[in-house]
Chains A and B, each alone.
Chain A
Amino acid sequence: MTVVAPFDRFRMLQHYRLISLIPLAAIILLLPLLFSSAYYYRVAALVFIFAIATLGLNLLMGFAGQVSLGHAGFMGIGAYAVTIGPTHFGIPPLFSFLLGAIFSALVAFVVGRPILRLKEHYLAVATLGFGVLLAIVFTNEASWTGGPDGMTVPGLTLLNWSVRSASSWYWISAVSFLLGAALALNLVDSPTGRALHAIHDSEIAARVLGVDVAQQKLIIFVVSAVYGSIAGSYFGLINGYITPDVSSFLRSIELVAMVVLGGMGSVIGSLVGAAVLVILPQALTLFHDYEHIVLGLIVMSVMVFLRRGIVPSLAAAFGGRRE
């Protein structure tokens, strides 16, 4: 695998690190000025929710170089956690949310060790199977999950404040993304991050240098699972209803498309990729018959012409090389 510009960007981020998030924070604060109704808040909230999941997958695919076609499975775990916890066990939603994240991490830990030994296409099919398996469980265990029809998600109440409106979810998801991005940038700059850089470059060389490849990959897999779970929980809570296709194969492919469109290895790219895929169906309602055609064309064109994804390619075009 050739090492190209994603890691120029990587080096750039190393210097700017958290400072590069300040413009993003500014955008998040100012964006609501453009919102004329709850509808915009909702779409923006969904963008940030998917951006969180995409960021997790990006850590796995972009930084660690591991393909996953089943990431939506972790979103499903998070979503059903905040549903099943309060409904069947009387656990408050906030606590269920945390339990979902912990459970996702556990599942990732258990499943990760054997699966991550596989490479490329074999890893792809294994993660695919994982996602499909979870979707099947969610569909079939109707007494727990409400079956294919889905289930109502009880509302979230924080200290007497009922979190219901789209604007509340906008702030929650946007700030969460910001925190998640900061964490990701920190991770990338840490010893784990450097180890991942080495692994992505050449696993064998990394092993020769003493990097515990299996453990590093597992750490990233667990981290990406937690991001996915958090996004899934928010997804269930903002909609108040969840169906098993939150974990479907198509959702996993959507997440991969978001990562690749925005730019593998780019934190901001995760946001851009999520934005494109969430906003597109809304923008194309006049041509809803042609939505898939346009989406397919966009994915192909970006991959062919802006091969590294939107953000890194544009960055290279505008910013040129730094350092």
Chain B
Amino acid sequence: MAEFLQFVFSGLTVGAIYALVAIGFTLIYNASDVVNFAQGEFVMLGGMTTVFLGYAGVPLPLAAIAAVLVTTAIGLVLYRFAIATASGADAVTLIIITIGASIFLRGTAEVVFDKRFHSLPPLLDSDPISVGGAAILPQSLVVLAGAAIIVLLLWVVIDRTLFGKAVIATSANRIAARLVGIDTRVIVGACFALSAAIGAIAGILITPITLTSYNAGTLLALKGFAAVMLGGIGSAVGAMVGGILLGLLEALAAGYLSASYKDAVAFLVILCVLFAMPQGLFGKTKVERV
């Protein structure tokens, strides 16, 4: 029983990480139908910038805030110079642009920072908490809490504010939204900025567990993307559930089947879910108008 519990804790730890990354994908997709592959890089930038500002002598809380601001600015620049300029391009082109952006950001991080691994101190105590014979790190709970809070905040913003209504309108029908006076470019830009901020916060929270380096973003983006599709793209709750489920699948596969194939098992399960429910667990069924 203690073993099973430990596997679950491991799954929750990793799953919370995937969930935080996945949530970042959702907002941009909702506003602009773009899957932003540079989301992983936003996460990496949050962590790395905080680390290096810390090395430069800046107190960590300030460094964290500065890192979030820097990453948000980068998200805005990405939107303004890449996505907005290519307005009207089809989905595949936009995806490739974000892939190009992720390569660019990774290359810049390689030069500006360095090629080694770095860590951040955990937010709370670093002693693990023992529950039922299994141990979980306090930081894992921080990450889970962080994900839940962000999902909640997103829901409040989208559902309860005028800005949120504008986002829903833009994602439903961009032309109609413009017709009623919504500046869609501002809305989508704001969503990019917000996603970048979420990514940066995610990076700061997960670095104490996962460590970070200039190329940490790629794997995170891959897993985050898989999690988001499992949960159903377009739903923040789906992203969180998808992330946690993916983490649990991996941990249980590693514990009970084979650690070498845990990623394979996770992907196979995702594929099976997609064949049965092509819109993911929480996604809306797409109605294609002829």
Contact between chain A and chain B defined by CB under 8 Å: yes
Residues of A with Cβ closer than 8 Å to B? 1-2, 61, 67, 114-115, 117-122, 124-126, 128-129, 132-133, 136-137, 140, 202, 204-205, 249-250, 253, 256-257, 260, 264, 289-300, 303-304, 307
Residue in A120, A133, A264 whose beta carbon sits within 8 Å of that of B264 in the complex: A133
What are 26 of the A-B contact pairs (CB < 8 Å)?
A2-B90, A117-B278, A118-B274, A121-B233, A122-B274, A125-B229, A126-B274, A129-B226, A129-B271, A132-B264, A140-B261, A204-B288, A257-B96, A257-B100, A260-B92, A292-B107, A295-B103, A296-B100, A296-B101, A296-B102, A296-B106, A298-B100, A300-B101, A303-B89, A303-B100, A307-B86
Q: Answer yes or no: B275 CB below 8 A from chain A CBs.
A: yes
Q: Measured between C-beta atoms, what is the minimum distance from A196 to chain B in Å?
A: 16
A305 to B267, CA, bound (A): 36
Q: Which residues of B contact A299 (CB under 8 A)?
A: 96-97, 99-100, 103-104
Q: Is the interface of B mostly helix, strand, loop or mixed?
A: helix
- Please give, as numbers and ranges, the residues of chain A lying within 8 Å of B85 by CB-CB distance: 304
**CB-based contact A293/B104 at 8 Å:** yes
B290 touches A125 (CB 8 A): no
Which residues does B use to contact A, with CB under 8 Å?
35, 82, 85-86, 89-93, 95-97, 99-108, 110-111, 218, 222, 225-226, 229, 233, 260-261, 263-264, 267-268, 270-271, 274-275, 278-280, 286, 288, 290
**B267's contact among A114, A129, A256, by CB below 8 Å, is which?**
A129
CA distance in complex: A296, B108 (Å): 10
Please give, as numbers and ranges, the residues of chain B lying within 8 Å of A249 by CB-CB distance.
218, 222
By beta carbon, the residue of chain A nearest B289 is A204
A118-B278, A119-B278, A296-B105 given; name 12 further pairs at CB < 8 Å: A114-B275, A121-B233, A122-B278, A125-B225, A128-B225, A129-B271, A133-B264, A137-B264, A257-B100, A296-B106, A300-B101, A307-B86
Q: 7 closest A-B pairs (Cβ-Cβ)? A: A296-B104, A292-B107, A299-B100, A296-B103, A129-B267, A293-B107, A300-B100
Indicate if the CB atoms of B86 and A128 lie closer than 8 Å.
Answer: no
Most chain A Cβ neighbours within 10 Å, of B96, B268, B270: B96
Which of A121, A140, A297 lies in contact with B229, CB distance below 8 A? A121
A136 to B268: give the CA distance in the assembly, Å.
Answer: 12
- What is the distance, in angstroms, from B76's C-beta to the closest C-beta of chain A? 16
> In chain B, what residue has the closest Cβ to A297?
B104
Instruction: Assess A292 versus B110: contact at CB under 8 Å? Given A136-B260, A299-B100, A300-B97.
Output: yes
- Closest chain-B Cβ to A64's Cβ sits at a distance in Å of 12
Are B99 and A140 in contact, CB atoms less than 8 angstroms apart? no
Distance in Å: Cβ of A149 to nearest Cβ of chain B: 15
A261 shortest CB reach to chain B, Å: 8
Q: Which one of A128, A132, A289 lies within 8 Å of B111 (CB-CB)?
A: A289
Enumerate chain B residues within 8 angstroms of A256, measured Cβ to Cβ.
96, 99
Minimum CB distance partner of B221 in chain A: A249
Shortest B278–chain A CB gap in Å is 6
CA distance A119 to B278 in the complex (A): 8
CB-CB under 8 A from A136, the residues of chain B are 260-261, 263-264
Q: How far is the CB of A220 from chain B (nearest CB, A)?
A: 16
Give every chain B residue within 8 A of A117 (Cβ-Cβ). Answer: 275, 278
Given known pairs A136-B261, A257-B96, A260-B93, the reply for A295 and B86 (CB within 8 Å) is: no
Residue contact B99 to A129, C-beta cutoff 8 Å? no
Residue of B nearest to A120 (CB): B91
Interchain CA distance A126-B276 in the complex, whole Å: 13
Q: A293 — nearest CB in chain B belongs to which residue?
A: B107
Kindly list chain B residues whose C-beta atoms are within 8 Å of the C-beta of A294.
107
Which residues of B sit under 8 angstroms from A289, Cβ to Cβ? 110-111
State in angstroms the CA–CA spacing of A253 and B106 once bound together. 15
What residues of chain A lie closer than 8 Å to B267, measured between beta carbons?
129, 132-133
Given A140-B260, A249-B218, A307-B93, residue A292 in contact with residue B99 (CB < 8 A):
no
A294 to B104, CA, bound (A): 7
Residue of A with least CB distance to B232: A122
Residue pair B93, A303 in contact (C-beta under 8 Å): yes
> Which B residues touch A133, using CB under 8 A?
264, 267-268
